[in-house]
Structure 1
């Protein structure tokens, strides 16, 4: 019985933490504002920045096209 309760509590904790993300906003040279889920990753070897857009799709953009990246607030995704 205690094992079942422990598994349930751990499962709910994982689900709650998975819904928490920090949003970032990237501004490009053309003035486009891109909202991201999580921190964008810069790959210095290729000169590209990887990010997940507002819908969760993984995208890449040239790092030289990004003028500014700002951190937004944490939000719950559920």
Structure 2
């Protein structure tokens, strides 16, 4: 019974934490719509926008190609 209670608490914690991260949509100047997991970050030194795609891969795109970033 105690194991069941600890599993339930763990699942509740995971559900709570997963609800905190928002997904974003990036629109590029050539018309692509890129769905991201979490908020993309902009590297001011290189001008690259780093994000995690829907497959979980970390990707970088030139910031000049991005027109807007919107939270879903």
TM-score (norm 1): 0.73
The structure 1 segments of at least 4 consecutive aligned residues displaced by more than 3 Å after TM superposition are: 7-10
* Residues 24-63 of structure 1: pairs in structure 2 closer than 5 A: 24-63=24-63
User: Relative contact order (alpha carbons < 8 A, sep ≥ 6): 1 or 2 greater?
Assistant: 1
Deviation, structure 1 residue 18: 3.8
Q: How many residues align?
A: 71
Q: Any idea what the Cα deviations from partners look like across 1:6-53, whole Å, max 9, x if unmatched?
A: x44542233113432311110111111101111101110111111011
Deviations 1:42-70 (A, max 9, x none): 11011111101112211110111100111
Query: More strand by proportion, 1 or 2?
Result: 1
RMSD across aligned positions (CA):
2.2
Q: Which runs of 5+ in 2 are unaligned?
A: none
